[in-house]
Chain A
Amino acid sequence: MLGEAVPRKEDIRLITGRGLYVEDLQLPGMCYAAFVRSPYARAEVLKVNKEAALAVPGVIGVFHGSEWPELRARLPELNGSVTLTSPYIDHINIPHHHLFSDRASYVGEQVAVVVAESPYAAADGVAAIEVEYEPLPAVATWQAAMKLNAPRVHDGFDNVVAHLKHRVGDVKTAFAAADIVIERRLETQSLKCMAIECRAVAAQWDAATGTLNIWTTGQFPYMTRGTVAGILGLPEDQVRVIARDIGGGFGLKGVLYAEDVIIPVLAYHLRRPIRWAETRNEHMISSNHSGNQAHDVRIAAKSDGTILGLDLKLYKEVGAYDHFDMMLQINTVNHLTTHYKVPALEIEGWAISTNTPPGSPYRGAGRVEAVFTMDRVLDAIAKETGLDPLEVRNRNIVTPADMPYRNGQIYRDGVPVEYHDIDFPLLLSKAAACVDYHGWRDRQKNLRAQGRYVGIGIGSYVEAGGLGPCEGSTVKIDTQGRISVFVGVNSQGQGHETTLAQICAHALGAKFEDVSVFGGDTRLMNFGFGTGASRVAVNSGNAVLRATGTVRRKVVNLASRILGCSEDEVIINDSIVAVAGARQNSITLGELATRAVRDRHMIDLGGPGLNATEFFYPNTVVWGSGVNMAVVEVDKQTGAVEILKYVVVHDCGLPLNPLVVEGQISGGFAQGLGIALGERLVFDEDGQVLTGSLMDYFMPRASDVPEIQIEHVIFPTSDNPLGIKSVGESAPNAPGAALSAAIEDALEGRINITRLPVTRREILAALRTI
């Protein structure tokens, strides 16, 4: 069962139209919200004239913060603990983020909300509202924000809201000893995660039970529970957050937004169920973005291609409110050296506020930038030394003989980074074999002679996932023999209902069909730490394994008494508990669970019923890894890039379900392809979004995505009982590096790619020089 490619349990409701996404929710007496949003990147909100909106038929009310004190409350400064454990940060001063305020700090920030009897009436109300603004000078880029005398994004706060520093080894000596010194400015653009479902939230005060029910598209339901309960002064148990079917997350939904609190506060005060669903246009202008990131990197290397040292200055746009302090920057730093040895490292980083929406992670969360930098560095050394890029990698790679390998970094959970149970040279050589690296190098010469531009590129990633602190699971067998698995996390499409059921069925000896997994409901588990950071399979998966193990011990103990055998003789298969060898002597899990309800013997086993709750606390993160190799051809007339061959070799330990793991890689690859060749959120100098719809923002479609070859290399880790490493965020990391290298190689060095995405304009400009 474990490791089998079983089709997913959640599919049936989703393919028949019976999924229940937040916007599908319809409750008696429901009303609908729509937001008035600032048209200015920075402005004083002088007056909100409600009268015209209140005259619109169907409008119930207009609110902008003065009505109830809760509407002026502050969102939590930091998204969970984030990086408080990182020793890298030496300065942090984050401005306060209020639900409503008199100052708009980005285009699209909420200024007022209209509640109406229908979504159309709410939109009419928004159209009727007149707001008086006093526009103020704004800064739309981090470069502008860092200028001397630049306007402040927030009064009383410096535009640099956080700063970090870290040093490994002696960089000065490394540069003094270098044969080669290379300098680059590398840049990645701001991106939108772009789940097909936009954000939504609905809330209902249930007077019968005294509960505020909240339905959310968020990835962190417990943060919603805690914040709303705190602001309204309700016990946390009177706030129930449900986040069941969610149409993709990818990081953007992994933060608490003002609307997530405003809608529940309104539902509580108005005593009416309220639903709000973001439009795509709202999503484009006001939902979080990943933020532009630039690296000034200097590399010291020997003439034989070995790296001596690296100096990095990291500039990151964090938008108007930085709820992640320096998480993304530290992720970049922690993952920077990927598979390679960099004996001396000096890093300095700045988190810079701008008058754009708040920054938040996008799948990969700083790793794309790390991989792009490290592989561009290795390719630059290859160019400089005349060595083949593959050879440069082989000369710097961390080998199994180096394991356990410590690169001198401290992960953002405060634990020193250590690689073990990984074979980087094997990943690299396997990728080279699969893509036919040396064959393409030979063919490349002939093709060039024919005037065809074919190039090969390499990208290598590591992915630390499974971040703690922990996750829990409750497993219980009911009197019909149906097994429920509760977890404190929710799915945005990852397939938890299937993979976690596989773990339980495997560990218990139950039928897969008998197991149902429930998550995304704060009433099920007391605690949960969210779906993000590629943490669910490792944390929740091992929690399910532990809870199932405890239930199994109860089953075995009780069954041995009932069946009159020793515990060693009890076997469980297909949900039937039997004495080994004795065919007649058996009992079903359901019958056993029935006995366990009233049997006094259960006093020794923790009380009635066959159930248990257990937690899994990882010591630190676990390191997945992989290599991408790409072969591309650039059309010399049009500059179009055709991917001739693409290989992903990866190691996530044992795939719990290869169908799901390969699905993660396929989807992540397509996102990486978008990052490499087109995705970019564009603001003008006043902070207006120029890519305000899916007509303007590139997203890969079916015809853009080539076939890819996926190869699993399986090195189970000793870090957790399941032996698994994370995979969720792995696939988007390397396509940017591999494809830009392949394009540069195809154009015979006539282009020096330093920015993602690689644009057609840059390629055409290079072609004109040929």
Chain B
Amino acid sequence: MKHQISITVNGAPYSREVEPRLLLVHFLRETLHLTGTHVGCDTSQCGACTIRLNGQAVKSCTVFAVQANGGDVTTVEGLAQSGELHPIQEAFHECHGLQCGFCTPGMMMAVTQLLDRYPEPTLEQIKHQLDGNICRCTGYHNIIKAVQVAGKKIRAREARVGLS
């Protein structure tokens, strides 16, 4: 009944035996103990469980772990590199883009894709792209600011890399 799966998560390979019905979010949280990814609604509405799977932002409560077999997953725990915060994390911190922090990991993972698609997003693009992520605390104003600031930070960093 159980299936052997191998998934790369935040750069590290994991092989585990799982039930076919195990959701990817539960694989990450309960099997791998990566609890930064949260469950907020069970029906793919709130986006708290958003991760990157093979480059695509997906709601991990709506993917079976077996579907991610052989895949490459990035979660919030994989955002910061060598102890340095990701520009999106820096921007959420500086702009007060979070209060309770529960939706924040999923929100930030959605923003990684948003900024991949639109490095200099318009207000409309930001709002549209965040439609799948609900925040109850912030009223979104500071999240939107954080997306704009993060975009600038990423562009500045890329410019520095380009120069060196």
Q: Which residues of A are interface residues toward B (Cβ below 8 A)?
A: 7-8, 10-12, 14-21, 23-24, 26, 118-120, 193-198, 245-248, 250, 277, 279-281, 492-495, 659-660, 662-663, 665-671, 693-695, 699-703, 705, 707-708
Which of B40, B93, B98, B102 is the most central at the interface, judged by chain A CB atoms within 10 Å of its CB?
Answer: B102
Among B124-148, those with CB < 8 Å from A are 126-128, 130-131, 133-144
| Other-chain residue from B85, B126, B142 in contact with A16 (beta carbon distance below 8 A) | B85
Q: Which residues of B contact A703 (CB under 8 A)?
A: 127-128, 130-131
A694 to B85, Cβ gap below 8 A?
Answer: no
B130 to A693, Cβ gap below 8 A?
Answer: no
Determine how close the nearest CB of chain A comes to the CB of B89; give it in whole angstroms: 4
Give the docked Cα–Cα distance between A118 and B136 (Å): 30
Q: Which residues of B are interface residues toward A (Cβ below 8 A)?
A: 19, 21-22, 26, 29-30, 33-43, 45-46, 48, 75-77, 79-80, 85, 89, 92-94, 96, 98-105, 108, 126-128, 130-131, 133-144
B134 to A196, Cβ gap below 8 A?
Answer: yes
21 A-B interface contacts by CB (under 8 A): A10-B101, A14-B98, A14-B104, A15-B76, A15-B85, A17-B37, A17-B79, A18-B36, A21-B102, A23-B29, A196-B134, A247-B40, A248-B100, A493-B98, A495-B99, A663-B99, A667-B139, A694-B41, A694-B45, A702-B140, A708-B139
Give the docked Cα–Cα distance between A14 and B136 (Å): 16
Q: Which residues of A contact B136 (CB under 8 A)?
A: 193-196, 248, 250, 667, 670-671, 699
A16 to B77, Cβ gap below 8 A?
Answer: yes
Give the docked Cα–Cα distance between A495 and B75 (Å): 25
A7 to B19, Cβ gap below 8 A?
Answer: no
B99 to A667, Cβ gap below 8 A?
Answer: yes
Knowing A16-B77, A194-B136, A693-B45, say if A708 contacts B39 (CB, 8 Å).
Answer: no
Considering the complex of A and B, which 8 residue pairs feature the smallest CB-CB distances, nearest first? A17-B36, A247-B102, A493-B100, A14-B101, A666-B139, A670-B139, A694-B45, A493-B99
A15 to B108, Cβ gap below 8 A?
Answer: yes
A197 to B127, Cβ gap below 8 A?
Answer: no
Knowing A120-B22, A702-B143, say if A21 contacts B38 (CB, 8 Å).
Answer: yes
Q: Which residues of B contact A20 (CB under 8 A)?
A: 35
A15 to B138, Cβ gap below 8 A?
Answer: no
Which of A280, A695, A707 is the most central at the interface, judged by chain B CB atoms within 10 Å of its CB?
Answer: A280
Q: Which residues of B contact A250 (CB under 8 A)?
A: 136
B96 to A26, Cβ gap below 8 A?
Answer: no
B127 to A702, Cβ gap below 8 A?
Answer: yes
B93 to A693, Cβ gap below 8 A?
Answer: no
Q: Which residues of B contact A19 (CB under 8 A)?
A: 36, 101-102
A666 to B142, Cβ gap below 8 A?
Answer: yes
Give the docked Cα–Cα distance between A559 and B6 (Å): 62
Is chain B's binding surface mostly helix, strand, loop or mixed? Answer: loop
Complex: chain A residue closest to B129, CB-CB: A702
Knowing A16-B79, A16-B80, A18-B36, say if A705 contacts B139 (CB, 8 Å).
Answer: yes
Determine how close the nearest CB of chain B comes to the CB of A200; give it in whole angstroms: 10
Q: Which residues of B contact A705 (CB under 8 A)?
A: 139-141
Q: Which residues of B contact A277 (CB under 8 A)?
A: 39
Q: Which residues of B contact A694 (CB under 8 A)?
A: 41, 43, 45-46, 134
Q: Which residues of A contact B46 (CB under 8 A)?
A: 196, 280, 694
Give the docked Cα–Cα distance between A250 and B131 (Å): 23
A279 to B131, Cβ gap below 8 A?
Answer: no
| Other-chain residue from A16, A693, A700 in contact with B89 (beta carbon distance below 8 A) | A16
Give the docked Cα–Cα distance between A277 and B138 (Å): 24
Complex: chain B residue closest to A245, CB-CB: B101
B101 to A701, Cβ gap below 8 A?
Answer: no
Complex: chain B residue closest to A657, CB-CB: B96
Knowing A671-B136, A702-B127, say if A246 contacts B21 (CB, 8 Å).
Answer: no
Knowing A7-B93, A659-B96, say if A247 contacts B130 (CB, 8 Å).
Answer: no
Determine how close the nearest CB of chain A comes to the CB of B139; give it in whole angstroms: 4
Which of A118, A194, A492, A702 is the most central at the interface, judged by chain B CB atoms within 10 Å of its CB?
Answer: A702
Q: Which residues of A contact B36 (CB under 8 A)?
A: 16-19
Q: Which residues of A contact B30 (CB under 8 A)?
A: 26, 118-119
Give the docked Cα–Cα distance between A495 and B33 (Å): 26
Determine how close the nearest CB of chain B comes to the CB of A117; give it in whole angstroms: 12
Which of A193, A666, A707 is the most central at the interface, judged by chain B CB atoms within 10 Å of its CB?
Answer: A666
Knowing A250-B136, A669-B139, A693-B41, say if A15 contacts B92 (CB, 8 Å).
Answer: yes
B101 to A702, Cβ gap below 8 A?
Answer: no
A660 to B96, Cβ gap below 8 A?
Answer: yes
Determine how close the nearest CB of chain B comes to the CB of A86; give it in whole angstroms: 30
Complex: chain B residue closest to A663, CB-CB: B96
| Other-chain residue from A14, A194, A701, A708 in contact with B131 (beta carbon distance below 8 A) | A701
Q: Which residues of B contact A194 (CB under 8 A)?
A: 136
A246 to B93, Cβ gap below 8 A?
Answer: no
Q: Which residues of B contact A666 (CB under 8 A)?
A: 138-142
B135 to A26, Cβ gap below 8 A?
Answer: no
Complex: chain B residue closest to A363, CB-CB: B136
Q: Which residues of A contact B93 (CB under 8 A)?
A: 7-8, 11-12, 15
Complex: chain B residue closest to A10, CB-CB: B101
Determine how close the nearest CB of chain A comes to the CB of B115; give it in whole angstroms: 15
Q: Which residues of A contact B21 (CB under 8 A)?
A: 120
Using A15-B104, A667-B136, A702-B126 as known contacts, list a sample of 16 further A-B pairs with CB atoms less than 8 Å apart, ordered by residue number in A. A10-B101, A17-B34, A17-B77, A23-B39, A118-B30, A120-B21, A248-B99, A279-B42, A280-B46, A493-B137, A662-B96, A667-B137, A693-B43, A702-B140, A703-B130, A703-B131
Q: Which residues of A contact B130 (CB under 8 A)?
A: 701-703
Determine how close the nearest CB of chain B comes to the CB of A693; give it in whole angstroms: 5
Determine how close the nearest CB of chain A comes to the CB of B35; give it in whole angstroms: 4
Determine how close the nearest CB of chain B comes to the CB of A728; give it in whole angstroms: 11
Complex: chain A residue closest to B86, CB-CB: A15
Determine how close the nearest CB of chain B comes to the CB of A237; give it in whole angstroms: 30
A196 to B103, Cβ gap below 8 A?
Answer: yes
Determine how close the nearest CB of chain A comes to the CB of B52; give it in whole angstroms: 14
Q: Which residues of A contact B19 (CB under 8 A)?
A: 120
Give the docked Cα–Cα distance between A671 and B134 (Å): 12
